[in-house]
Amino acid sequence: MAILSHDAIIKEIKDGKLKIDPFDDSIVRENGIDLRIGGQYAEYSFSGQIVDPCELNDSKGLFEVVEAIDGRIPVPPHRFVLLTTMEQVKFPDDLVGLCNLRSTLARYGLSISPTIIDAGFAGNVTIEIINNSKNYIILRRGMRFLHVVLERMEGKATYAGIYLGQKGVGLPKGMKGEC
């Protein structure tokens, strides 16, 4: 297993194995790709309630999906929002993406949960952005926010989960029957 460099990523894209739409050369970095914020986000519709994922068939009604006004996405203090990437990606069956928040944004007090883009995944990527600060932080549509390190797997696998092909923000599935 190896982490792909800038040149190896460009080769994967040129060979049609890794697809990124829309693509811009500036998102390919030294050791990964920087995906940009899309124009939609989701946040809880309420606060102070009990949410038990093991009792839910789906999360409809828990979240409000919002279009970014003037491209701005406010992240309230000590809360999180679900962001989607501007890009739709299609990973080959031998690459995985290890997701990290760009360190510049982390220095403002933001973080993300550990996230992997599975081999064979296709669609917009949904990421939870957590504001650990006491301040509102404004993010903007089109800004690079998610650094994805690409690693070649030993063997091949293809993602077949419910988030395959998602467009926009993918809300969490209910976990009833899994717990």
72-75 vs 80-90, strand pairing mode: unpaired
Token output for 93 = 């069956």
Q: Where are the alpha helices (DSSP H) in 43-157?
A: 103-106
Do 82 and 63 contact (CB within 8 A), yes or no? Answer: yes
Q: Which entry of 43, 55, 87, 128 is annotated as an active-site residue?
A: 128
Identify the helix (H) or strand (E) that includes residue 96. strand 95-101
Exposure of 169 by Cβ count < 10 A (0-12 exposed, 13-18 middle, 19+ buried)?
A: buried
Which amino acid makes up residue 72? R
Confirm whether 128 is a catalytic residue: yes
SS3 label, residue 26 = helix
Token output for 173 = 């599935």
Beta-carbon count within 10 A of 82 CB: 20
The residues assigned a catalytic role are 128
